[in-house]
A and B are shown apart, each in its own frame.
Chain A
Amino acid sequence: DSGVTQTPKHLITATGQRVTLRCSPRSGDLSVYWYQQSLDQGLQFLIQYYNGEERAKGNILERFSAQQFPDLHSELNLSSLELGDSALYFCASSVGAATGELFFGEGSRLTVL
């Protein structure tokens, strides 16, 4: 158990819909990262938050947005969903640069029909 909690674990929805994925980082971790993993692909970095502020952006579509709340949990909002958005979405957290590694949640599997 990494200590990072993601909900929901599985989600099936239709094209054009909007979903919200939630992540609770490990206790004490201030950074939250979101990654997308399409079928048999590597992990693509979407966005990073640190203590409530956006710090780095990757290949995140304009239809996607995220935020980190004062209690440090984060939400990834995906709107106007397309078939190609079907993927495993990972949240990870870290304390910062001191330890280096990211700890990953179990992922949220999104299926868009």
Chain B
Amino acid sequence: AQTVTQSQPEMSVQEAETVTLSCTYDTSESDYYLFWYKQPPSRQMILVIRQEAYKQQNATENRFSVNFQKAAKSFSLKISDSQLGDAAMYFCAYRSAGIGFQGAQKLVFGQGTRLTINP
């Protein structure tokens, strides 16, 4: 079974600085997706960024970028120019690609990293 590990329960960063959240995963599959979801105090789960395993290029979405190291099974999230609104719980998640088979496509989540932004 796939597992996702976030080794940093809490992180803090000064406003406007850069922070990197770590995530490692364990899988024997070659085709999969990786995600970072954000959960602010409202508890809504918001997709931040996604990465397809077959793509070598790291995904970026505005101030958010990832460092995807497939061989090392590492998927870190970098937040640049941190803003107060970035304060949230961040979850790393894994999902099998499972093309054509709908049976094993659940998201497997890490335990989360609580990010605090200091003004």
Contacts and interface: CB of A to CB of B under 8 A. Distances in A.
A80 to B, nearest CB: 25
Contacts, number: 74
A28 interface: no
A61 interface: no
Contacts of A37: 43
Interface residues of B, number: 29
Main secondary structure of the interface of A (DSSP, over half): strand
A107 B43 contact: yes
Interface in B27-53: 33, 35, 37, 42-47, 50, 52
Contacts of A107: 43-45
Contacts of B106: 33, 45, 48, 56, 58
A44 to B, nearest CB: 8
Nearest to A102: B107
Contact of A104 (B44, B102, B105, B112): B44
A96 B100 CA distance: 8
Contact size range, A: 20 to 34
A92 B46 CA distance: 11
Interface stretch (B12-20, B65-73, B91-99): B91-99
Given A100-B52, A104-B44, A106-B43, A94 B109 contact: no
Interface string B84-119: 000000010001011111111111111110000000
B41 to A, nearest CB: 12
Given A90-B45, A104-B45, A97 B100 contact: yes
Interface of A: 2, 30-31, 33, 35, 37, 41-43, 45, 48, 50, 55-56, 58, 88, 90, 92, 94, 96-97, 100-104, 106-107, 109
Given A48-B103, A96-B102, 4 more contacts: A37-B43, A41-B111, A100-B52, A103-B47
